[in-house]
Amino acid sequence: MAKSGGKVTIKKYANRRLYDTESSSYITLDRLAAMIREGREFEVLDAKSGDDITHQVLTQIIVDEESRGSTMLPVNFLRQLIGLYGGSMQGAVPAYLDAAMDAFKTNQNAMRDALTANPLADLAKRNMAMFEDATAALRPKVKATEPAGTQAAGGASEIEKLRAELAALQAKVEKLVG
């Protein structure tokens, strides 16, 4: 029996039915696709031989998705991929495609994080706050009980704080852009 939350074992029977050992029920290829989108790990075993046939089942899911009109794989890509079978680069292609997909996923997550955080709006708010703080620091507000030099020193340290915050913001923006 499969562990809940871990890798689920799916058994494929000769009648083409898929049996989920975790839920003790028959499932479809559509359900397997949904499990992938949910981030669930599974393996598909031939019920009779015990062979791992996960690769073939995943390929069948892609074929089904493509045949429904949800085309994601361009014809030129498919032609090039087929052309690599049997060639000298066939062994290197899986590792390259894995690395390319990992990089794509990393970039996708970074872009999503950048867009949901709305860094431009946050930057505008911080800039406005720094501008208000700077103008407040430059306005003469000398109280009768304070010596004249105290206000200037406090204003200078406030300006230094603003400069440091501005430098930190610039570094963050450069990190997001670069």
65 and 16, same structural domain?
Answer: yes
The Cα angle at residue 43 between residues 70 and 80, in degrees rounded to 5: 45
Total domains in the fold of the chain? 3
DSSP 148-159: HHHHHHHHHHHH
How many whole angstroms separate alpha carbon 45 and alpha carbon 57? Answer: 10
pLDDT of residue 86: 92
Same domain, 137 and 86: no
pLDDT in tens, the chain (178 residues): 444 468 999 999 998 899 999 999 999 999 999 999 999 999 999 999 999 999 999 999 999 999 998 789 999 999 999 999 998 988 999 999 999 999 999 988 888 777 776 667 777 788 888 878 777 777 765 555 545 444 455 567 888 888 888 888 888 878 877 6
pLDDT at 158: 84
Nearest to 12 by CA among 39, 47, 50: 47
Domain limits at 110? 73-114
> Is residue 6 domain-shared with residue 63, that is, in the same domain?
yes
Report how far Cα 13 is from the mean position of its chain's Cα atoms: 35
Alpha helices (runs of H) in the chain, residue ranges in sequence order: 29-37, 54-67, 75-84, 93-117, 119-138, 148-177
- Shared domain check, 123 and 78: no
